């Protein structure tokens, strides 16, 4: 009877060893590095030097570290992926990459590079390993800069709201401030609301860091992550309202040169740190209030 059980048992498929995969895949890894080098150089000189993309390098480094850690731990379920699916993902990714590179669309180029990387990971580790470790891939998506027209569409109403809220709050305490569109007038000065002050930049960076914080500290829960993201949005907007108010006060009391100099960026960093503290505080409160089924494991 023991022989029958052994004979009828399904053969055990050996798990892929990560070190062997890296050794066997070194030509593909070098090819990917050759694709990634010019893209990272372009991102470093364009998207990442702007405040809207300042979170990109942090997301890239922490995301790669997290992905390597998770896939190393998942070697027990790693199996070679279906060739046709890996090939399809590679074809689509290279198409986006080439189109973005030729026509200077860094968003499509970065998206295509991301697709090529996913295709390689799928071929090496299989669909189930990637599905189980979906968060690092999702998190790395925050390093892809959104197209300019998307930023313009999203920041336009936020700039209007932030400037109006800041203007009304300060005019209520006697500061001579008025607004026309996204231009704020205070005393003899006029301030033009930039995308950096709309809340969009803080929103993307705060969302990425908050999700990483939840994943590392508490584990992953889609519903809980969505709930936290819903709180990140008003926190980011509130922080930018405070930032605009500080810039208006600096301009009113110390002049435009002071407000637009070192203190302009200092206020942004300090308020971003305050936003993070508020996110952590909200998380500490929510984890005690939400239903147990919603809590991260």
Residue 291 has pLDDT above 80, yes or no: no
> Cα–Cα distance between 265 and 247 in angstroms, integer?
10
Quick: pLDDT tens for 101-111.
999 999 999 99
Average pLDDT of the residues of the chain: 80
- Output the pLDDT for position 199: 55
> How much is the pLDDT for 102?
95
pLDDT of residue 161: 84
Is pLDDT at 51 greater than 80 in this prediction? no
The owner of tokens 């697709």 is 115
20 belongs to the catalytic site: no
Structural tokens at position 164: 């109006």
Nearest to 281 by CA among 240, 231, 239, 209: 231
**In angstroms, what CA-CA distances link 264 with 176, 243, 249, 257?**
20, 9, 11, 10
197 catalytically annotated: yes
Stretch 234-261: mean pLDDT: 80
3-state per-residue secondary structure call for 52-118: HHCCHHHHHHHHHHHHHHHHHHCHHHCCCCCHHHHHHHHHHHHHHHHHHHHCCCHHHHHHHHHHHHH
Residues 76-97: tens digit of each pLDDT: 777 888 999 999 999 999 999 9
- pLDDT over threshold 80, residue 159: no
Q: Given the residues 69, 218, 223, 243, select the one marked as catalytic.
A: 243
Q: How far apart are CA 264 and CA 246, in angstroms?
A: 9
Query: pLDDT tens digits for 265-286?
Result: 677 777 788 888 888 898 888 8
pLDDT of residue 108: 95
Q: Residue range 3-22: average pLDDT?
A: 47
Residue 139 has pLDDT above 90, yes or no: yes
Model confidence at 292, pLDDT cuts 50, 70, 90, reads: low
Per-residue pLDDT of 189-231, as tens digits, reads: 877 766 555 555 667 888 888 888 888 877 767 778 788 888 8
| Residue 1, pLDDT above cutoff 50 | no
Q: Which residue's structure tokens are 């605009």? A: 244
Find where tokens 């936290």 sit.
228
Question: Which stretch of 42-46, 66-70, 254-258 has the lowest confidence by average pLDDT?
Answer: 254-258
Q: Which stretch of 9-13, 214-218, 232-236 has the lowest confidence by average pLDDT?
A: 9-13
Percent of the chain with pLDDT over 90: 25
The one catalytic residue among 101, 153, 197, 292: 197
Q: 188-226: b or e for each residue (b if 16 or more CB lie within 10 Å)?
A: eeebebebbbbbbbbbbbbbbbbbbebbeeeebbeebbe
Instruction: Tell me, yes or no, if the pTM score tops 0.95.
Output: no
With a cut of 90, say whether residue 116 has pLDDT above it: yes
The per-residue pLDDT for 234 is 87
Q: Which of the four pLDDT bands, split at 50, 70 and 90, describes residue 64?
A: very high
Q: Which of 3-7, 218-222, 238-242, 269-273 has the highest mean pLDDT?
A: 238-242
**Is 19 or 234 the better-scoring residue by pLDDT?**
234
């Amino acid at each position: 009877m023991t022989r029958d059980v052994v004979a009828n048992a399904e053969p055990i498929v050996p798990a892929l060893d990560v070190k062997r995969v890296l050794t066997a895949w070194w030509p593909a890894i070098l090819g990917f590095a050759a694709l990634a080098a010019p893209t990272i150089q372009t991102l470093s000189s364009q998207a990442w030097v702007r405040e809207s993309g300042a979170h990109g390098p942090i997301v890239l480094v922490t995301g790669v570290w997290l992905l390597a850690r998770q896939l190393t731990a998942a070697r027990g379920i790693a199996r070679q992926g279906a060739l046709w699916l890996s090939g399809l993902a590679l074809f689509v990714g290279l198409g986006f990459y080439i189109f973005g590179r030729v026509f200077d669309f860094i968003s499509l180029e970065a998206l295509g590079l991301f697709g090529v990387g996913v295709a390689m990971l799928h071929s090496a580790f299989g669909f189930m390993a990637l599905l189980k470790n979906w968060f690092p891939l999702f998190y790395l998506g925050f390093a892809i800069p959104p197209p300019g027209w998307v930023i313009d569409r999203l920041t336009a109403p936020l700039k209007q709201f932030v400037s109006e809220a800041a203007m009304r709050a300060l005019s209520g305490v006697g500061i001579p401030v008025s607004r026309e569109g996204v231009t704020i007038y205070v005393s003899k000065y006029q301030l033009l609301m930039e995308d950096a002050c709309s809340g969009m930049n803080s929103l993307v960076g705060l969302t990425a860091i908050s999700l990483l914080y939840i994943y590392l500290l508490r584990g992953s829960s889609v519903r809980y992550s969505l709930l936290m993201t819903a709180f990140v949005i008003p926190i980011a907007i509130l922080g930018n309202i405070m930032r605009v108010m500080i810039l208006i006060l600096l301009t009113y009391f110390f002049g435009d040169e002071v407000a637009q100099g070192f203190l302009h960026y200092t206020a942004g960093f300090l308020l971003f740190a305050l936003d993070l503290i508020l996110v952590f505080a909200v998380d500490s409160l929510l984890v005690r209030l939400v239903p147990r089924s919603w809590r991260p494991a």
